[in-house]
């Protein structure tokens, strides 16, 4: 035990390397990364966004960042599967903590999220955000597009999120429509995977519906994504309700008929060729979860996003 330590989120002297905390104890940052607002030397930064005032059904995603961090504790110490490496040997990752939001003044929420994200993005670090409901992706997209220009959106979800709004609403079901109208995303090279509901408008975005995802192999789904997106800069957003409720019951708007976590993780693993500039995992609502099924799925998706980032850095 002499070589081991605990509470790596606070006691770590470096932002690289694995922690040695027991999986069942210690301070719970994302994958035991050091909590810090000092990000100048970070390759990637984790940001929590505890917001769920935009949901149209069951609230609770404000607790998503906490749940994802807690579930992520099982991933540290060993080389992360399926990347066959300690992701933090050559990649410096910091957990920045959460955005401070005023629960009584939601109109300030988008600006607060965008400003915090822009600060992190300006450092040159890859930003991985943990929601929160899917509205949070709107200010995140704006912050990323301000640096990278219009982005191809790769969107895993049961819903298109293209419902009408007045550009003022705080709504988790309309951020894609707003992003297209304002030129934040490139609709011609954006794609949605797992859609199992209807919306009045698709804005020309390519859709792989739930039944198509069921019929296609993970390889075929991946090839469709890569061919459609090409070499455009990408924002990757993952609504946990993309997964069937059997694999992600803890979410606000579950829809039956979705893919398994195994299938979608296989797709994510193959997305290395994409030029991913930022990513998020949203809509984990632990109050409706069982045995952390959804939180584990969300933490695993986030870990895969970091794994892809580590591989890109290794190729430089």
Report whether 289 belongs to an annotated binding site.
no
Structure tokens at 24: 């069942």
Report whether 43 belongs to an annotated binding site.
no
Contacts of 154 (CB under 8 A, 6+ apart): 190, 191, 193, 225, 229, 234, 235, 236, 237, 271, 274, 276
Sheet holding 34-35, edge to edge: 34-35, 93-98, 44-49, 126-131, 275-282, 233-239, 152-156, 191-195, 206-209
Taking the CA atoms of residue 142, residue 147, residue 152 and residue 153 in that order, the dihedral angle to the nearest 10 degrees is -40
Report whether 157 belongs to an annotated binding site.
yes
CA distance linking residue 93 with residue 42, whole number of Å: 6
**Residue 45 class from Cβ within 10 Å (0-12 exposed, 13-18 middle, 19+ buried)?**
buried
CA distance linking residue 315 with residue 105, whole number of Å: 44
Nearest to 139 by CA among 110, 168, 161, 116: 110
Binding-site residues sit at 134, 157, 159, 161, 239, 241
Binding-site residues for Mn(2+) sit at 134, 157, 159, 161, 239, 241
């Amino acid at each position: 035990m002499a070589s081991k330590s605990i509470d790596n989120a606070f006691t770590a002297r470096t932002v690289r390397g694995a922690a040695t905390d027991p999986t069942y104890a210690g301070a719970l940052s994302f994958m035991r990364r050091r909590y810090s607002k000092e990000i100048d030397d970070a390759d990637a930064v984790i940001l929590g966004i505890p917001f769920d005032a935009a949901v149209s059904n069951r609230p609770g995603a404000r607790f998503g960042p906490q749940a994802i961090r807690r579930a992520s504790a099982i991933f540290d110490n060993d080389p992360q599967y399926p990347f066959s490496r300690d992701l933090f040997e050559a990649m410096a990752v910091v957990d920045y903590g959460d955005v401070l939001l005023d629960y009584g003044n939601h109109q300030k929420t988008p600006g607060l999220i965008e400003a915090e994200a822009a600060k992190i993005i300006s450092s040159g670090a890859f930003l991985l955000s943990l929601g929160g409901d899917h509205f949070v992706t709107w200010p995140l997209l704006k912050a990323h597009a301000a640096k990278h220009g219009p982005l191809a959106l790769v969107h895993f979800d049961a819903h298109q999120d293209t419902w009408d709004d007045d550009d003022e609403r705080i709504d988790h079901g309309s951020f894609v429509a707003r992003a297209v109208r304002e030129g934040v995303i490139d609709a011609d090279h954006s794609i949605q995977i797992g859609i199992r509901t209807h919306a009045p408008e698709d804005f020309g975005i390519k859709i792989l519906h739930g039944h198509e995802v069921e019929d296609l192999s993970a390889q075929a789904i991946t090839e469709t994504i890569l061919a459609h997106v090409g070499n455009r800069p990408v924002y990757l957003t993952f609504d946990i309700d993309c997964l069937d409720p059997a694999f992600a019951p803890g979410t606000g708007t579950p829809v039956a008929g979705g893919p398994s976590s195994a299938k979608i993780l296989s797709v994510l693993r193959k997305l290395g060729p994409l030029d991913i500039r930022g990513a998020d995992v949203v809509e984990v609502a632990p109050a409706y979860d069982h045995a952390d099924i959804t939180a584990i799925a969300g933490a695993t998706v986030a870990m895969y996003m970091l794994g892809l980032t580590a591989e890109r850095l290794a190729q430089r």
